[in-house]
Amino acid sequence: MCVHYDELAEKAVEIIDRVNNGIPQEKVEYINPEVVLYRSCGCGSQVVVEDWEDEIQKLYKKDKDIRQVIFMTTECQDAYDEDEYLRVIAKYFKDTCAAKGYLCLCEPPDEEEEEPNEGFTDYMILKRVFTAPWGVEVSDERFPKKELLPKHILEEAQVGQYLIVGIHYKNKCYGYMVLVYEANTWIDCYAQAYVTCIANVIQDAEIHRQITGLEEIRNLYQKDPLTGIYNRRGFEKHLRAMYEDMHKQENSKLYLSVVSIDMDDLKFINDNFGHQEGDAALCMLAETVKRLIGPEEICARVGGDEFAAILQSEDSQRHEKFIRDFEREMVRVREESGKPYPFHASIGACCINGEKGLTLMGCIQKADKSMYERKKERDRRKRQQGEFD
């Protein structure tokens, strides 16, 4: 904003003159400044953006890249072995904007060596060749380090920009990635995060490989120790995978639904009958849900007294039938358990492809809202009766 000094001085003299002559004067006077676009940094005139559609697309890409990095990081945390992390690396290559990628890893250390080399090995292993968007070639070809890539690849290589990025974690060197870019493209923030994730996931797999009892580690990460069903991590992983699979299948007839369940009166049970009985009630609820889900469906304990399920069926009303079956089963379990405390749970569900334009997060929120509405209605009835039913 530019205020012209001559106009400012003229206004000041007018104010002084009015005050000296006893003419009423406003305490605040305004001067309209001039708006000067693209000059605040002091570097001079800049080009005014007129192609707003292009700018909007750039913002969309940045937003997509951020979300992809989050998804990639989460999947990397669950990759326990080489097959798993190579699958994740292949899955997210397409968003690097590179036309081709060569994943070259150091030769594994000898059994006597406890730590990997701190530099590249004399011979490297070409593990994978990626071609945008989805092409993946398994190689496992061994070649001398000094060649950077196997000779036959260099002889057949197209002219382009070859960027070699080291894959390392602190002082541990795992290899490098060769990214091939076509004209007018180059490495961006997403590609840098991608290579960083490769190093982290290889490091994590190395740690897991050194620890015995891999299945116990997997269960610790994805299973709830009390009930034996999935925890929040396992739930979110399977939900994301099932959601992505549904979208990849053209003309899919599968309906995907999210179920939200909240156990009622857990605090009452803990306070009056002890935490052991509270744990027993949680296990009863977990077993009830497990009996009702199909072989391709999952259930999870996602919080202290919060449970969830993912339903998958060709029946668009599967989630509604599940609610009815669940409420009937809860009555049966309550009557047969002989427990001296109330055994109730509130439930809500939503079918993600039952409503046009509904997002995954929107579906989860609708299932939660439906569940809380049922909980409020039960609490209202309890207050009217003045006791547990």
Q: Tell me if residue 27 falls in helix, strand or coil.
A: coil
**Hey, what are 207's tokens?**
């740690």
Percent of the chain past pLDDT 90, that is, above it, reads 49
Per the CB < 8 A criterion, the answer to whether 224 and 289 are in contact is: no
Rounded-to-integer distance, Cα 94 and Cα 100, Å: 9
Percent of the chain past pLDDT 70, that is, above it, reads 91
Q: Tell me if residue 172 falls in helix, strand or coil.
A: strand
Pairing mode, if any, of strands 255-264 and 306-313? antiparallel
Q: What is the pLDDT of residue 367?
A: 93
Helix ranges restricted to H, the chain: 5-20, 52-77, 82-91, 151-156, 189-210, 214-222, 232-248, 266-273, 275-292, 318-337, 360-385
Residue 372 pLDDT greater than 90, yes or no: yes
Residue 324 pLDDT greater than 80, yes or no: yes
Rounded-to-integer distance, Cα 255 and Cα 27, Å: 69
- Average model confidence (pLDDT) for the chain? 87
Least confident of 6-15, 256-265, 325-334, 354-363: 354-363
**Hey, what are 59's tokens?**
């913002």
Helix H or strand E segment including 127: strand 123-131
Q: What is the pLDDT of residue 55?
A: 80
Q: Residues near 208 by Cβ (< 8 Å), separated by ≥ 6? A: 80, 81, 214, 217
Q: What is the pLDDT of residue 389?
A: 44
**Hey, what are 361's tokens?**
């997060």
**Hey, what are 256's tokens?**
């995907």
The whole-angstrom distance between residue 260's C-alpha and the CA centroid of its chain comes to 20
Question: Of 115 and 328, which is predicted with more confidence?
Answer: 328
Where in the chain is CATH 3.30.450.40? 53-211
Rg (CA), the chain: 31
Q: How confident is the model at residue 19 (pLDDT cuts 50, 70, 90)?
A: very high
Topology (CATH level 3) of domain 232-385: Alpha-Beta Plaits (3.30.70)
**pTM of this structure:** 0.49
110: left (phi over 0), alpha (psi -120 to 50) or beta: beta
Rounded-to-integer distance, Cα 11 and Cα 318, Å: 76
Where in the chain is CATH 3.30.70.270? 232-385
Q: How confident is the model at residue 301 (pLDDT cuts 50, 70, 90)?
A: very high
User: Using CB atoms within 10 A of its CB, is residue 384 exposed (0-12), middle (13-18) or buried (19+)?
Assistant: exposed
Tens of pLDDT along 205-246? 887 776 655 566 666 778 898 999 999 988 988 898 888 888
Instruction: Average the pLDDT over 257-271 and give the result.
Output: 94
Tens of pLDDT along 57-99? 888 888 888 888 888 888 887 787 888 899 999 999 998 989 9
Other CB atoms closer than 10 Å to residue 253's CB: what's the count? 9
Q: What is the pLDDT of residue 388?
A: 47
Instruction: Average the pLDDT over 337-362 and give the result.
Output: 88
CATH code matching the domain that covers 53-211, chosen among 3.30.450.40, 1.10.8.50, 1.10.260.40, 3.30.1480.10 = 3.30.450.40
Pairing mode, if any, of strands 135-144 and 161-169? unpaired
